[in-house]
Amino acid sequence: MALDIGSVRIGVSVSDGLGMLAHPLTTLKMGKKDKLPLDEIKKLIGEKGVQRLIVGMPYTMKGSDSIQTRKIREYVVELEKALSIPVETIDERLTTKMAADQLRAVGRKSSKNRSIIDQVAAVNILQLYLDKKNINRRVP
């Protein structure tokens, strides 16, 4: 399962049983005062039998940390403490832009589909992770 954590919403995606394809799952709302909805995340993990959580890291285009990157690092620590599964991060640069472009390509306006954009960004994050993992698996 992957999370695209934003300041208002969290896009969530899951992979198929073979770990080949990512699919949108849902969009969660951040709690008050930027609190992660840990109970909802735990519930999804249990329902879907998730074995690993991937969190997108929003680095700047130069690859350095931003204020949001530091905030996500704090969330990752919180997730690691609260969950009994491994939590990994992956560079998520441009995944939200890719998601908006993908929606526009099928005739949907990004301004009216923010929660869908978050889910598609989470799909892009998870697909990047799965592709990287599967490429490494094929190398002898």
What would the pLDDT profile of 97-119 be if each residue is shown by its tens digit? 666 666 667 666 655 567 677 88
Dihedral sign for Cα atoms in the order 111, 55, 94, 103: negative
pLDDT grade for 22, boundaries at 50, 70 and 90: very high
Residue with the larger pLDDT of the pair 100 and 11 = 11
Structure-token match 């991060």, residue found: 89
Q: Which of 77, 84, 114, 85 is nearest to 99 (CA)?
A: 114
Structural domains in the chain plus CATH codes: 2-138 (3.30.420.140)
Task: Write out pLDDT tens, residues 39-85.
Answer: 999 999 999 999 999 999 988 778 788 888 999 999 999 999 999 99
pTM: 0.83
